[in-house]
Each structure stands twice: as structure tokens, then as C-alpha cells.
Structure 1
Amino acid sequence: MSRPLALIALALLSLSAPVTAAEPNTPAPPQPEESKGGKVERFGKVTPEDEARFNALVASGDRALDAGRLNDAVIAYLDALDIKFDARLSGRVGLVLSMFQQSPSLDIKIARLLVDAVDDAAGISTAERRQFFDAYERVRKRLCRLEVTLNYVDATVSIGSRKPLRSDGAFWTFIPPGKTDIVASLPGRDDIKQVADCVPGKGALMEFEFPPLPGEERETIVRAPPERVIIRDEFPVYALRTPEPAIKKDDTPRSRFAGGIGPVLVIGAAPSPSLGVSITGEYRLQGWSAVGIAKGAWSMGDVEKRPIDIFSASATVGPCVQWQWLDGCAFGGAIVFEQRMKQNDLYHLRTNTKIIPALGLGIGATYAIKDRLSARVFVDATALTQDLIVGIVPSGGAPISVWQTQRFLFSVSALLMFGR
């Protein structure tokens, strides 16, 4: 997910989640109204308390994104949009979602969020508005815009596997490529079924006309101009969680502490791979962090067919630069090598312990499992400032070197991280 820094900064401001149309027998959310300024008002006026909660949720989502907790950010931003509609926030949600692995169902959600921002010309700058529009154009090319009209306002429509929704006589929506079954229903009448064959990037119009019952006068539907067609949200309104207290906005940097433990595989500390345990401590501040790593690993084989075991233990610290779920680190420290050999009468080890300063680089990837729990994979390369030489001294003879390191160690650790 490499992207320019400007896009990263924008993406780290919002997120969103799926939603479906309301069932016919479920009270629908308030209908959009045209304001004097031409913008769609999704909700009525909010109270000062709701405004404070809205700002607190947006701030909470921002902090979650700064910390790489994307799922938490999604929930916070959605809860904020449930309190008050904001076209710019909707656009940023769609923009971030467009960076994920795409599917037709996700494309529909992204397009629906971005079209709100595009219709309202949302954005704090021309560049941001252009990003919303470009993202919408990309996802629009993978979908069809379907317009549906009916001659009864209380008819319901089922689109594919989605739940039925009341039509109100006319609406539009997005559908995925290929064929989609559209079924219109009206009490006392036979269902009318049509099949929409979606060509990506194209539009489609489907008209459903129910014949009047005997003695019933034909109902007349007055349709609005195409640009005023009623827009029905396909997404359910998420129930609000327990309201968060209003947070006083300030510029104080937010920090994050975390610690983790897990297995590590080390290559280069011995002729054979070494297996052990890695412990990590982390202090995160905005997009930077300081990390401390302690590792201990035992060689899984002998040294040059001699019964020699090598244990390596390292302690390193250093700074890291973070970007969403990735981070790169530079560190320094020392590695202790402990050599042991089964007792025999033929020879003994020349040295048993050696401490070698070391420098290294690493890259990690973190996946949030829950609010305070995440999984992390860390790969690093460490350069030794001097060689480790394993030598033996035969009985009554001169020392013999049996193995020497290559100055570089490589390790892979899988950690379970705890903390914020």
C-alpha cells in the first residue's frame, strides 16, 4: 500500500463501514430535503451536546488512525456521521476505503460515500475535492448506476440479495457488473421481475408499472427532474454506542504504549537456524516511536558435527517511523554469544562467552485484532561489529577454529502485542 505522503495524510483522517437498505416495515431514516442552498440536509439541527459528541468521536477516530487501529477509527467515524451528516467526512471515509482490497459490495459502499462528497463539492481545498472526484470516477467505472421508477409510491423493490426497500416512486442506486435480479412488489399484485445487465461504467433505467385493480383509478406519479430523483441510502444507520464524553480539543500529542512477546527465528548466529523468544516494548508518539527488543535463541544443531551448542541473546533499542500498519526501525545494542559443549577428553572450547556490539535495521507490520490487542510480524537484519569465532583446543595441541560468523544476522519474529 505505498502511496504519496500527501495521500497518506489525507487517508489518515477517516474511515467507514457497510450498510444496507431498511426493510419496508422498519421506520426509515428521515428523508433528504432540499435546502435553499441546494444541499441535502440529512439530519435536523443538533444540540450543543450532540455537537460536542460529534467532535469527540471525530477526534477519537483521528487518534485511532494515528495509532493504526483502523477498525476503531471506522466505528468512531460512523458514529459521528450518525449524529450529523458531513459531506467532507463522508468523502474521506470513501477515499480511505478505496485503498483496501476491492470487491463489488465494497465498491458500492465507496461510491455511495464519495458521491455525497462530490455532489456537495466537499473538501477544504481544490486538491482535496479533486481527490474525492478522482476516487469516485475510478470506482464508478467498476459499477452501474441504476435508476428505478414505479407507478405506486408504496411499492417495494428488492435488488439482488439486498433487503427490500420502499421505492417512494423513484430512486437510484449502484449495482455490480453482470446480471442482477430486480423484483418489485405491491400488496395484492403479482411481483414484477426484471433483470439488469450491468456493463461497468454505464447507467441503466428500469421502469415497473403495476396494472390497477378492477374499479381502481390509475394512480398518477409526478416524477421530479432527473437531478432531483429521490436518493435512498443503501446503508443501515448504525446504532450509537455509549456516548463518549466530550473531549476538549487541544494540540497535546497523543502517545501509545505497547508490549509484546512471541517466537523468533534467527539465521546466522550459528551454523544452523536458532529458535527462541522475542520480547518488544514500544512507546509511540504520533508517527514516530521508540522500540526496545530483547531476543534469546538456541541453535537447533551442532557446530561442524561437533557437540557444540550456541545461545545468542540480544538487547537493542532505537527509533521507528510509522505509516498506518507498517513501520521501519533503526537500532543499536549488543549480542551475547554463549557456547557450550558436551564434556569430552579430546578437546575443550577456546572461549565460552563473547559480547559483540551490533547495529541493525528492521521493518514491521501490525494487524489490529481488538482495541488493545494486535498481531505483529517483525523482520530485521543486524550487523556485528566483529566476528564470532568458535574455536576448540585439542588436548595437548594448538587452538583450532571450527566456525566463524558472516557479520550479519537475520531474524523473523511473530508477536502478540498488548496495549494501546
Structure 2
Amino acid sequence: MRSVIVVSTLLLVSPSAWAQRLPSPDVEEDREAEVELRFKALAQLGDHERAAGRLREAARAYRQALNVRHDSLVAGRLGMVLVEGGRPEDAPELLLDAIHRAPAATPAERAERKRFFEAHEVARAHGSWVEVMVSHAGARVTVDGIDRNDAGRSAFWTFVAGGEHEIRATLDGFEEAVVKFTAVKGKDMKVPVPLTARKVEQGPGVYVPEKDPTATLSAVVSGPGFTKQEDPFAYDDQPKDPTKPDEKKGLRGFIGGGPVVVFGVASWMPAVGATLAGGVQPNDYVSLRLEARAAWLTTGVADRPISAMTAGGIASVCGHYKWIFGCALGHLGVITVDFAVQSFKPANFSAIKPGAGARVGANVRVTQSFALHAEADVLGLSSGVQVAVGSTVVSDQPPVMIGVQFGGGWEF
């Protein structure tokens, strides 16, 4: 009789226990709804912060939304925020995903997709799409220390900023492959990464440890509240020093200009004009430049109705250190003096004045491609300028010109 009661009790209890262990369909639906609700809240927060002009907060919200689940539309909006926030080199992969996969059924969606394409073209001009071709599939590949091949494919595309980069590939049984390359802005390229099989070396018959096997645990320092994936601007908390140029390597050119003031054009009074310059910089320490400048005396020579001007070209070789630079100059130009018709017998003369000198200046980078500069130079000429009216010498200028100029320039 006792055994019958026990069996009956088990039969009554077991179904309820099983029901408690099995997940309810309603619980699974609630979880999916919670995930979707969290995703929408973060995406809407990103839209709100972007509309308010808070790009850092918008990027963080979009990144967290993508960590909940992937959405090509949100990826495209994150890419646009990165372009607007000065991080275009991190945006092309997100924007390309949005161009190919974001919905484009309505006019508004098509208009936003067009903006994705325009932002991608802006970002692409700051770097290069690189096809990495690994000789063996399954390798772990990093580009500049960042994992880029989670799927272990033998070939994949990635976007990098212009300049020097390093690819490392590792695979069991092979030597680590290290390939360095230079990315050219706006140009796609292919980079092969060959893996070489590791040579098998026979070890000793008895294992002898080389050092004390006691492990030393290193201290763990807690990091920031957000990872790099959640906060693309996490490492930009410290303001950038505008006097420090970006890390660009390789040959690059520049062009610029601005106002100039020259002293010594037949008088020590200031002559005002403009300068236009262009050149190349093979590396961070040396640049070569050619410039043309012209300046007109703002007053008459010796307070008389006699005007003067200078025009010519300057070739320079400059050495750079951080934000300051110094140059050796070569000058070839003319100084022209013109006597006013109403006061003197009409006359003018011009003299070619070759010379040489030196320049010092400072360069302040405003953006990745635009910089402001201030310069001062001294030129020694082949001869001075003497201005005479009849037998009276009104000005006897020594063979020296001093120039001060301020302007801007673009690098490419």
C-alpha cells in the first residue's frame, strides 16, 4: 500500500517539475522583445545626440546599439558620425555595409542612402581599400595590431588611412608573417601575405626547463568604462596639440599663400603685397619650396611722389623640427622705382637684384590637410638702391630686404 502512494505522488509531482524546467514560449518572446526594445532605445538615443550635435555621444550610442544586434542602417549612421567627427578612416566599412544592405524602399530611405554614398567618398579620400591575400586559410590576421579576419578567410578587404601600415598573420605550423606597406590615399591596392611552414626541430630526450616554472602574475589595471568598440572616441580624451603634425610619412606636396610685408624696397617704409608658394616635403625634417611674391611701397620714397615695388621668386631648402623650421633662401627679383608724372619728369627704372638669405618660421596644423604658418626672412641683395632727384639723393637704401609673412597652406 505504501509503494502505491509513493508512485502516485511522483506521478502528480513530476509534470509540474518538468513544466518549471522547460522554457516557456512567452519567456523567449519576452527576451526577444527586451533585446529589440534596448536596440531601438540606443538607436533613437544616437539619432537624438547626433541631431543635437553631440557626435561623441551619438557614436557611443550607435556602437552600443550595434553590440545588441547588427543593423546596416545604424551602421551607416555611425559611419556618418565618424566622418563628421574627424574620424573618416574608421567609417568606410560601416558606410559600405549601409550602402549595400540598408533599406531603400521609400524616398527618405533612398535620400539617406545617397548621403551614405557621399560620406563614403569623403572618407575614402583619407585612405585606401586594401585586399589582404593570405596564402593559407584559417590564419589570424591583424592590421596595425587590430584583428581583421575573424572568419579565417584567405582573402578579405579592409580600409586603412594613408601612410605606413603593418600586417601580421599567424597559423599553427607556420612562421609568423610580417608585411609592411604604404597606403596611398584614394587608391585601392592588394597586399599578399605569404606564410612559410615552420621547420620541425627535434628536442632533447629529457625535458629540462630553462627557467623557474614559477609563474609571476602581472598586475591588472582597470581600464575605462567603455571599450574602443563602444566608444570610437575613447582615446581622444586628451586634446590634440595643434602644433604637432599628424604622423604622415612619405613624399607629400603642399601649396599655400598669404599676405607679406617687405622692408627695404627703396625705403625702410613697409611695402605690402602677397606671396604664393608650393613645394614638396620628402620627410618630416626637410622640405623644398618655390615661391613668388610682390609688394608695393605704401608711401612715397622720402615722402615724395616716388613709388617703388619689388617682385621676384625665392627658392628655399628648409629643415623642420616639430612645429618650427629654418630655411636657406635664394632670391632673384627686381626693384622698380617710378617717378610721378605731375611732379617730376616721367621716369622709372628697374634693377635685377639676385641675393641670398635665411628664414625662420612656425607651422601650426589646423586639420589633417591644412596648416597656418608665420615666417620672417632676411635677404642680402647684390646691390642697394639709390634714388636721386637731379643732384639730390633722397634715398640710399642698403642691399638688404626684410620680409614678414603670414598665411596658410594645404598638403596633398
- TM-score range for the pair, normalised by the shorter chain length: 0.3 to 0.5
Larger RCO (alpha carbons 8 Å, 6+ apart) = 1
State which structure, 1 or 2, has the greater radius of gyration over its C-alpha atoms.
2
Report the TM-score, using the length of structure 2 for normalisation. 0.43
Report the TM-score, using the length of structure 1 for normalisation. 0.42
Bigger share in helix? 2
